[in-house]
Structure 1
């Protein structure tokens, strides 16, 4: 069983995410924490394999939890899946630099978390099955590095497209629950409208989003986007 610690400042959200994780085969929720200090103490005491970690905590940032665990435990620290409403590129970049294995933007349903946890479980199984004597080929290495990525995103974005920004734009369209304009996506993600439009067009080309035209009484039709 993969021992999992849920860290979120809202106890109701923490309970929901704990229930979600407990439903996924192979995962056991061993505790919950609602602050930076409580999270660090819980990791020391419970030694979980995985953190489901929020960025916004009452006594600081979830990123500070990662920094403290990196300094204190180094290679013995648990893996981390960020689960947060923070959509800014700076938070995504910091999480990646601090070793987070994934980044899931709130709100989300059980299916989205199940996909990420199943991918993480597969990664652990592949690492455990590696032969320490044999030399691993490039294909196996690539598979390990891509295992925790959501299947909806291309492994390597096209030139001129940033993976964190692409994730933010796709998450915004997903979270919208309806068709969104480029201006609405730009407002939600903090990027410019032109950048949002460029990334939305890329998602359409990749088959990850659908373009719909909304016709008004006059003028050109408005471009709206929704996930496929």
Structure 2
């Protein structure tokens, strides 16, 4: 079981990301930090295997925190999760040795793909041969590139009638539909729509994205996955 520290200045967003992580087999969140100071203290105390690192923190820069963590002795794997897309931030992340960089907002599938890549690479390192070849090294680097699960549209005839209706209701809408909107279109309860949408997401048929408003919790919106 790989332990994870979630770092994000927004308490609500940190909780959403923790929920995402805990849906991925083999990972367990051991803490949430909301400032640079907390991130350094908790990383030192908890010794997580993986840190999900926000860039914009109220008392510092997440990349400076990353520099400190990766310059220590018990070095975690770091995945940056941020709205920062400027070239300086991306270049710094690469130079520091960050393994992945996810732009907010992102869905469960995007994070799960990268967590799966990290898990596979860790397993490979644990079985590293003493006489490693170039092929071994190439394979390790390849593992850190997430394998997307995008495939063809699922065979609708194999889905239950209600699941087919839920899937078809989404269509190619952008930026997707909420569970409440799907429920209204199909004529089912919101709870039922949410259950079927989660099932379609697990199948890789739809993508979940979060839309962040001014107040309240982020809105979950679902769209058909692109091939």
* TM-score, reference length from structure 1: 0.64
Q: Which structure ranks higher in relative contact order (CA pairs < 8 Å, sequence separation ≥ 6)?
A: 2
Corresponding residue of 2:41: 41
Return structure 1 stretches of 4+ with deviation > 4 angstroms: none
Corresponding residue of 1:89: 87
For residues 128 and 66 of structure 2, what CA distance do their matches in structure 1 show? 27
**Unaligned ranges ≥5, structure 2:** 149-173, 177-224
Shift of 1:64: 0.8
Name which of 122, 133, 140 aligns with 2:136: 140
What is the correspondence of 1:158-177 to structure 2 with a 5 Å cutoff? 177=175
SS in 2 for 1:149: coil
Corresponding residue of 2:118: 120
SS in 2 for 1:91: helix
For residues 35 and 77 of structure 1, what CA distance do their matches in structure 2 show? 19
Shift of 1:62: 0.5
Corresponding residue of 1:15: 15
For residues 23 and 146 of structure 1, what CA distance do their matches in structure 2 show? 24
Corresponding residue of 1:3: 3
SS in 1 for 2:97: coil
For residues 34 and 89 of structure 1, what CA distance do their matches in structure 2 show? 24
Corresponding residue of 2:56: 56
Shift of 1:114: 0.5
Shift of 1:90: 1.2
* TM-score, reference length from structure 2: 0.64
CA displacement 1:142-195 (0-9 Å, x = unmatched): 11112122336xxxxxxxxxxxxxxxxxxxxxxx859xxxxxxxxxxxxxxxxx
**Unaligned ranges ≥5, structure 1:** 153-175, 179-225
Classify 1:146/1:177 alpha carbon distance in 2 versus 1 (closer, same or farther; 3 Å).
farther
Corresponding residue of 1:149: 145
Q: In the comparison of the two structures, how many residue pairs are matched?
A: 154
Contact 2:7 2:14 in 1 (8 A): yes
For residues 142 and 93 of structure 2, what CA distance do their matches in structure 1 show? 17
For residues 51 and 70 of structure 2, what CA distance do their matches in structure 1 show? 13
Name which of 127, 130, 134 aligns with 2:128: 130
For residues 48 and 20 of structure 1, what CA distance do their matches in structure 2 show? 17
For residues 109 and 62 of structure 2, what CA distance do their matches in structure 1 show? 24
Contact 2:6 2:51 in 1 (8 A): yes
For residues 122 and 95 of structure 2, what CA distance do their matches in structure 1 show? 20
Name which of 102, 105, 126 aligns with 1:104: 102
Corresponding residue of 2:189: none
Shift of 1:227: 5.6
For residues 3 and 151 of structure 1, what CA distance do their matches in structure 2 show? 22
